[in-house]
Amino acid sequence: MEAFLTFRKKLFHNYLFGSTLAVLGVGGVFIFFTLTLSITEFYYMGIILLSSFISMALIEYRAFSKDIKPISQVFEHDQKDLASLKLAFGKLHLFPIMTFRRIMGPHLFGLSIPAVLLSILFIRYNLLHIPYIYIFFAVIGAVLVAGMHAIIEFFLTIKAIQPLLSEMAAISKKQYNKSLSQEGKLVMSIKRKFQLSFLYITVFPILLFGLATQVKLDILAESAQNYWSWAFFIILLGLVFAYFGAKLLFLDVHQPIVQLQESMKKIQQGHLTMTQDLYSDEFAGLVNGFNHMVQAIKDRDEQKQLMFESFLESLSAVLDARDPYTAGHSTRVTAYALAIGKQYGLSENNLSLLKKSAILHDIGKIGIPDGILLKDGKLTDDEFAKIKKHPEIGAYIIKQVQGFSEMDLVIEGVMYHHERYDGLGYPMGLAFDAIPLFGRIIAVADAFDAMTSDRPYRTGMSFDKALGIIEEGKGVQWDPVFSRLFIDLMREGVFEEKPVSHAQFQEYIEHIN
């Protein structure tokens, strides 16, 4: 409701400004500086203008209330109806044209008709001493001034509706997850805007000056020098009006260009953000096309992401097929690692990268001979030395993947998930925060699943026993922060049993999200 009240206040301020500039600033100057009136006649002329203004205000307010009603009704309730939102959104795009029509209709006739009738009455009773032909000139002048006022209000209203359009689009997205857009629908073309601007900003002031000159010459009893002093002031006033009108036209065209340029810069920086659809001319189609392009890029990237993740899961499945005793290990480690990352506050992008890294953390075991990988008994020192090569083998395999810009972060989890916090791990012997973030997270998840999984030569530990070992080893073997987070999550019951299947894995991912 606050946005709507601000909108109405802005319209009121615009109306006062436009009226002052066009009606009083231009029209008033032409009347009072062109006609030669006595003090008493100035007084009667003031009465005519004031009475006409009151008539105009009443008639125009009624028309304004009718035009704004579909918009105001939307903001009377906290829960906005989607159909009403769409209707109001469309009406708001039409509001600048409706404003133009109000000024050329109720505004013009509400002012002119009472002014003409009162002027005829005052002349008839000798209260004003001007020829009747001047009333005809005044009507023509009123049309010209109204047109100048209307074009100012038109451009000011275009600016005024934009914050409310943004507010309505945000409400629709929040309450209904629907985007409000004109879908490129043309309300008024740029060509028509330029035509109207040329007519009302350039031609009308010239016509008004010509009309005033005709009246001035008819009554001129002064020297040519006095005439040119008057003419210079009127021309200057017309130039000021033309400059201001041209500036409004420039801003109307300049804003969407700048907006699209800024949006394109964001895309170049990797931020696929749609731009606001605030326009009703050809820029509406351009913005709509731009947003469709952004959405198409998003859809393509999501498809590539799904295909890539499917590829990674396939690689993990290959490893599971080689070693049936560790089948599902990568899936469980991924679920545990994501739970830690989510609790730690990683961004959505980093969680996605962590997922890829965890799925592939043991992919290097593909390069380990079956005789070592599938051995039932205890490994010899030489065999264990070969097993310890699997992080480096895995990192080498993943480095061969092309077309993924953030693969270095994925490699970190694969390469360093067997490093120890005290520096006694492998393959590099890194310690403390020198161990990359993903390596420290996956190390906790990997150790827990290894301890709780069955092997041919032993039965897996209970959750409580494994958590006790991690509790004792935090700050020594494992990062104390991630160890603590994982222990707390497990004791809160986030994982009451192992997520061994793909379906269970998805359930747990949805649960922690």
Number of domains in the chain: 2
Among 238, 253, 268, the domain boundary falls at 253
151, part of any domain: yes
Strand-pairing partners, residue 474, are: 478
- Owning domain of residue 65: 2-253
122, part of any domain: yes
Among 209, 233, 253, the domain boundary falls at 253
Whether 246 and 332 share a structural domain: no
Burial code (b: 16+ CB inside 10 Å, e: under 16) for 438-464 equals bbbbbbbbbbbbbbbbeeeeeeebebe
262, part of any domain: no
Dig out the tokens for 66 from the structure: 């009718």
pLDDT at res. 505: 47
pLDDT at res. 435: 95
pLDDT at res. 303: 81
Please give the average pLDDT of every successive group of 10 residues along the chain, which has 513 residues. Answer: 81 75 59 71 85 87 87 76 82 88 88 90 88 82 81 86 84 81 73 77 71 62 54 69 77 83 82 80 79 84 76 72 72 91 91 90 86 78 88 87 73 93 92 94 93 77 90 93 92 65 47 47
280, part of any domain: no
290, part of any domain: no
488, part of any domain: yes
Whether 225 and 348 share a structural domain: no
Among 253, 269, 302, the domain boundary falls at 253
pLDDT at res. 457: 66
CATH code for position 472: 1.10.3210.10
Whether 206 and 352 share a structural domain: no
Whether 19 and 130 share a structural domain: yes
pLDDT at res. 13: 81
Whether 219 and 336 share a structural domain: no
Whether 232 and 357 share a structural domain: no
Whether 25 and 167 share a structural domain: yes
Site of tokens 């105009």: 56
Cis omega before residue 480 (within 30°)? no
pLDDT at res. 218: 61
Whether 38 and 142 share a structural domain: yes
Dig out the tokens for 47 from the structure: 């009465």
pLDDT at res. 331: 85
Instruction: For helices 407-416 and 390-399, give the axis angle rounded to 10 degrees.
Output: 170
Whether 51 and 129 share a structural domain: yes
CA atoms in the 13 A half-sphere facing the CB of 434: 12
Whether 444 and 338 share a structural domain: yes
Whether 232 and 379 share a structural domain: no
Q: d(Cα 91, Cα 163) in Å, to the nearest integer? A: 15
pLDDT at res. 456: 66
Whether 327 and 249 share a structural domain: no
Question: Amino acid identity of 442?
Answer: I
